[in-house]
Structure 1
């Protein structure tokens, strides 16, 4: 009886393919976990630098590490649901632009090329440079893009990470983990430097002029314009209804900033009633806060 050797030849290839897919998914999960830690650290640092300009800590404003971690985890879960299927089928996705029978061969060649350590090192280093460019945009997109600064930033990230990632890739057992940690380290260091400086500047501007921006809201800082109506209580100086900046709350205590007096007001929620506006009413309230800052002596 004849024996069909084709089945024997296909089995190892199928097993290797399944192992490669499993390793790829494990790597993605590891990277997402490290990314969660990195993003939480960067977000906490940015929030801390912003609120420090008012003399307030993130915990006082209700933005401790647990709250920030939950927000980051939610984003990463959504990202993972979209990204992991893309990793599973990325050779075919990259070959979508190729017509006919060439599609399968192109997908196979792309997958084979990225199995090489040099290709993976180049791809990861390019990703580091790309992340550096994205984070540098918070300092001003016009400056970074118009003057060609993004090229210098991308090359810096690429060239600095290439030798380190190359050395880490020589470890057969821990290479993938080491590379993921190195990428996270490079991104974290640059983010702490860039985002921290930007948020410190924005916090100082908000405390000085009462002007808020979108980046603060995107990072989870819920500063808003409010009108505070205080209740007279024993032991506390009476205050009139005033336009203020609401910085947050924790433990039933509102944290407000009186721009006219340049002071932080901490009052229990039961002793102050806050109202905010939308549309034209919100614009009028914002203008009142800005004018109160201008009256500061």
Structure 2
């Protein structure tokens, strides 16, 4: 019983030692994705009032939901691993232990995984096919990571460092895939006027309003709906879906009327109707 309990606790400890670096690296890369997302509209996060603290505050509910999903999944992974080990009479755990004791095998697996994490970076700058990605992953793994990981396997502190590096590289790789998704989502908003679930998850405000003059409360811009990207330094940053333009207006001369969140769009709706009319 003690050996089984120790095994489960050891497994949880190993999972935690990998998950934490993944989460830290993923959050670190996330702000780069937010910058790229708002760059589609010609602004930066600071101009719409989004800094690290605001981003974390907007994502609190999303982080709670992820935690609620991750905990049962973690329990299922541990349970399945225990079940497989029991069904094989302990052979599965012995096989894993033997692989971990072979420094070249463990280093090679970690190196290939780190090489594969560059897929997100490559997707951001191009669209490599599967064969090219495999070649790049193997090449990077062998040339850049294999020997360092093999040397780190000599001491316990080096093996712990390998876990941190692999976890961090995994988080960075996932982060660049997230950046790609955020940029594509922002382009969809620019064209369709509607945000997807990924943008909502990172705190993007799909908020629309009719802009009015503060002097007489009369609608401006022909009463068209404008997306409120954010506000900072006494200025509203607005996106005109009809003209495909990003505008800035002083808050002191602007009233917001008829505010809507996540408005429903009719099928086939696209932005740029007035922009096409203005094109000679």
**What is the match of residue 256 of structure 1?**
238
**What is the match of residue 37 of structure 2?**
50
**What is the match of residue 211 of structure 2?**
230
**Displacement of 1:258:** 2.1
Separation of aligned partners in 2, 1:66 and 1:157: 37
Separation of aligned partners in 2, 1:296 and 1:16: 75
**What is the match of residue 60 of structure 1?**
49
**What is the match of residue 104 of structure 1?**
89
Separation of aligned partners in 1, 2:164 and 2:278: 48
Pick closer, same or farther for the CA change 1:161–1:76 going to 2, 3 Å.
farther
Separation of aligned partners in 2, 1:56 and 1:124: 36
After alignment, is 56-65 or 195-204 more displaced?
A: 195-204
What TM-score, normalized by structure 2, do the two folds share?
0.70
Q: Secondary structure at the match of 1:217?
A: helix
**Displacement of 1:39:** 1.8
Separation of aligned partners in 1, 2:14 and 2:150: 17
Match of 1:247 among 226, 229, 238: 229
Is contact 1:247-1:255 (8 Å) kept?
yes
**Displacement of 1:46:** 0.4
**Displacement of 1:121:** 2.8
Deviation digits for residues 222-271 of structure 1, max 9, x if unmatched? 36484x32233139996131143343578998642125272334559963
Separation of aligned partners in 2, 1:79 and 1:135: 25
**What is the match of residue 5 of structure 1?**
none
Alpha-carbon RMSD across the aligned residues, in angstroms, is 4.3
Task: Please list every run of 5 or more consecutive structure 1 residues that lacks an aligned counterpart in the other structure.
Answer: 1-13, 97-102
**What is the match of residue 149 of structure 1?**
132
Q: Secondary structure at the match of 1:170?
A: coil
Match of 1:186 among 152, 169, 173: 169
Separation of aligned partners in 1, 2:146 and 2:197: 31
Q: Which has the larger radius of gyration?
A: 1
**Displacement of 1:213:** 7.0
**What is the match of residue 148 of structure 2?**
164
1:35 maps to 2:22 = yes
**What is the match of residue 7 of structure 1?**
none
Q: Highest relative contact order (Cα 8 Å, sep 6+), 1 or 2? A: 2
Deviation digits for residues 42-88 of structure 1, max 9, x if unmatched? 22210122113431416625852343466346425522431255246
Is contact 2:36-2:183 (8 Å) kept?
yes
Pick closer, same or farther for the CA change 1:67–1:229 going to 2, 3 Å.
closer
Pick closer, same or farther for the CA change 1:39–1:164 going to 2, 3 Å.
same
Pick closer, same or farther for the CA change 1:179–1:22 going to 2, 3 Å.
same
What TM-score, normalized by structure 1, do the two folds share?
0.66
1:128 maps to 2:110 = no
